[in-house]
């Protein structure tokens, strides 16, 4: 069981590092609000500050959203550490992804007062997002797959 915990935490740390490095690159190389073609017809890079939650809900809520990120992250760490039964691959992936996403966006809220977003889908009108957001959404997908698999 300790082996699974190690891999979950290592995976979360790696994803968190990618998230934070990408955000630092965006801050150093992009001007706010200006789109730069990255993958033509699919993805642009555009630096945006989001002081709310997903889809810009709860605008100006960075302080209390920062506390929520911190509490979720602590709760996830406790859950990962204390979990008594065996993890499935989907549950382990969900835990790592959710921890990385929660900590990644939480760091932004505490450090900058807003989350740094930089990925913009071109073919559809969709909010600009970041790797932490992708991780959180993939965690939900992993949990859904696990729930379906158990039925």
133 as an active site residue: the answer is yes
Catalytic residue among 19, 51, 108, 133: 133
Quick one: residue 56, left, alpha or beta (phi over 0 = left, psi -120 to 50 = alpha)? left
Distance separating alpha carbons of residues 114 and 29, to the nearest angstrom? 18
Catalytic residue among 19, 51, 108, 117: 117
Spatial contact of 107 and 73, defined as CB atoms under 8 Å apart: no
19 as an active site residue: the answer is no
Spatial contact of 99 and 69, defined as CB atoms under 8 Å apart: no
Q: Please list the active-site residues.
A: 117, 133
């Amino acid at each position: 069981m300790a082996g699974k915990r190690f891999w979950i935490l290592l995976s979360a740390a790696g994803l968190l590092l990618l998230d934070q490095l990408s955000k630092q690159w965006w801050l150093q190389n992009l001007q706010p609000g200006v789109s730069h073609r990255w993958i033509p017809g699919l993805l642009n890079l555009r630096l945006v500050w989001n002081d709310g939650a997903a889809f810009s809900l709860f605008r100006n809520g960075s302080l209390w959203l920062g506390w929520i990120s911190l509490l979720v992250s602590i709760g996830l760490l406790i859950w990962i550490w204390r979990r008594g039964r065996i993890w499935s691959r989907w549950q382990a992936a969900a835990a790592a992804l959710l921890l990385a996403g929660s900590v990644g966006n939480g760091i932004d809220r505490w450090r900058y007062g807003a989350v740094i977003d930089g990925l913009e889908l071109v073919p559809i009108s969709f909010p600009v997002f970041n790797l932490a957001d992708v991780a959180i959404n993939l965690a939900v997908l992993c949990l859904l797959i696990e729930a379906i698999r158990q039925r």
